[in-house]
Structure 1
Amino acid sequence: MRVLARHFTFEVGIVKDHKLVQTGPYCLIRHPGYTGAILSAFGLVGFLGLRPPGLAWALVFVLPMTALMVARIPNEEQTLHQHFGRQWEEHCKRTWRLLPPIF
């Protein structure tokens, strides 16, 4: 959020004078906020263990949260591609979507 500054919104969209941010974590990962949230959530489950309450956290919070974030990514990427075109395509060639080198 700090790197995106005024470009950050909770809703998918383009703000006035929007620039494609490619610095900070965005030089490696296109959705570092999601990466951090997912890794933190799974870290919490790992800390709590895969028995109650860790298993409950995984089933009730972490897995649905991860699924929602991953499902939202195509919409964000389509919006950015429509706005930035070739610049977005080049950025995608240099970066990982969520978890290098997996996705």
Structure 2
Amino acid sequence: MAAPSLGEAIWVIGIVAWYVIRYPFERRARRVRIVTGYRSRSDIVGLASALFGLAILPAFYVVTGMPAAADHPASAWAVALGTIIFCSALWVFRRSHKELGRNWSITLEIRERHELICAGPYALVRHPMYTSFLLMGLAQVFLLANWIAGISGLIGFAVLFLLRVDKEERMMLENFGPQYRAYMEKTKRIVPYLY
């Protein structure tokens, strides 16, 4: 199998795995009562941007090959690196969901008996779910040999992150106060030890 086709196949498998990981948590989350919702227009725009950049546009490229004018030569080393990064993203994504358990929500919400989670990947960063999206976007650059489809994941992630992370941290400060502030002092946002 040629490098471009292999990269595309690995990207498709990764997206399917992403959904398989998320689905049971989505089902469980529906059963837990929401105490406070912080959904806003910018939240919806951020989620839509991430979905478009990390799934819709690259899927369109994989299915149609368009825009072919933005294709570039694929290489085996890029596909191998992209595969490692995507596997890392899925591991962080799964661990984040597992640690959050009943506290998980796709939008900014506080659930009944919500707890502050500081274990697992949350011991290193405050937002490991965003870390996983950053890694997915980076993997996409290496797996898809197309400048537009490849970079769209990083752009979609950036829009989501910039529109949401400050609001999410304010929500957590409102609900957990000094406990969350102390947690913020011990951890970085999405990249351990750096940012």
Q: TM-score with structure 2 length normalisation? A: 0.47
CA distance in 1, matches of 2:122, 2:152: 30
CA distance in 2, matches of 1:70, 1:28: 20
What secondary structure is seen at the aligned counterpart in 2 of 1:30?
coil
Higher RCO by CA contacts (8 Å cutoff, separation 6 or greater):
1
Within-5 A mapping of 1:73-88: 73-88=165-180
The structure that is helix-richer by fraction is: 2
CA positional deviation for 1:56:
1.1
Larger CA deviation: 56-65 vs 86-95: 56-65
Structure 2 unmatched ranges of 5 or more: 1-96
CA distance in 1, matches of 2:161, 2:118: 20
CA distance in 2, matches of 1:64, 1:41: 8
Between the aligned residues of both structures, percent identity stands at 27
Larger CA deviation: 13-22 vs 64-73: 64-73
CA distance in 2, matches of 1:76, 1:25: 17
CA distance in 2, matches of 1:102, 1:27: 14
How many equivalent pairs are there? 99
Give the structure 2 partner of residue 6 of structure 1. 102
The structure with more radius of gyration: 2
Give the structure 1 partner of residue 148 of structure 2. 56
CA positional deviation for 1:36:
1.2
Give the structure 2 partner of residue 44 of structure 1. 140
What secondary structure is seen at the aligned counterpart in 2 of 1:14?
strand
Q: Kindly provide the amino acid, as one letter, of the partner of residue 42 in structure 1.
A: L
Structure 1 unmatched ranges of 5 or more: none
Q: TM-score with structure 1 length normalisation? A: 0.85
Provide the alpha-carbon RMSD of the alignment: 1.5
CA distance in 1, matches of 2:105, 2:194: 26
Deviations for 1:3-54, whole angstroms, at most 9, x for unmatched residues?
Answer: 10100001101111111000110011000011011112212202435xxx1x
What secondary structure is seen at the aligned counterpart in 1 of 2:165?
helix
- 4+ runs deviating over 4 angstroms: none
Give the structure 2 partner of residue 20 of structure 1. 116
Give the structure 2 partner of residue 94 of structure 1. 186
Evaluate the alpha carbon distance shift between residue 102 and residue 57 of structure 1 in structure 2; reply closer, same or farther with a 3 A threshold: farther
